Amino acid sequence: MMDTLYIRLGNDGMFFAACDGSRQVDYEIKTVPFKPGVSLNVSVHEALRSQPFASSEYREVRALCEGRATLVPLSEFDEDACEALYFFNFPGRRGRLRVFYDALPRQDAVLLFGVDKAVCRTLEEAFPQVVFQSVETPLLLHFAASSPRALPRRRLFVNLTAESMSVAACRSGRIELYNAFTLHHPEDALYYTLHVAKTWGFDASSDEVYVSGEAVMVDTMQKSTKPYLPNVFPVRIEEEFPGTPLCRESALPYDFVNLLLRTF
Q: What's the mean pLDDT in 111-133? A: 97
Rounded to whole angstroms, the Cα distance separating 247 from 240 reads 10
Is a pLDDT exceeding 80 seen at residue 55? no
Residue 251's pLDDT is: 81
Domain end residue (candidates: 100, 134, 168): 134
What strands lie across the sheet with 60-65, from one edge to the other? 28-33, 13-19, 4-9, 60-65, 130-134
Q: Where would I find the beta strands (DSSP E) of 198-237?
A: 208-213, 232-234
Residue 256 covered by a domain:
no
Residue 99's pLDDT is: 97
Is a pLDDT exceeding 80 seen at residue 244? no
Least confident span in 13-17, 56-60, 70-74 = 56-60
Say yes or no: 110 and 224 in one domain.
no
Residue 189 covered by a domain:
yes
Sign of CA dihedral 126, 128, 131, 134: positive
Residue 117 covered by a domain:
yes
Is a pLDDT exceeding 80 seen at residue 204? yes
At residue 162 the predicted structure's pLDDT band, cuts being 50, 70 and 90, is: confident
Give the domain range for residue 111. Answer: 1-134
Domain count, the chain: 2
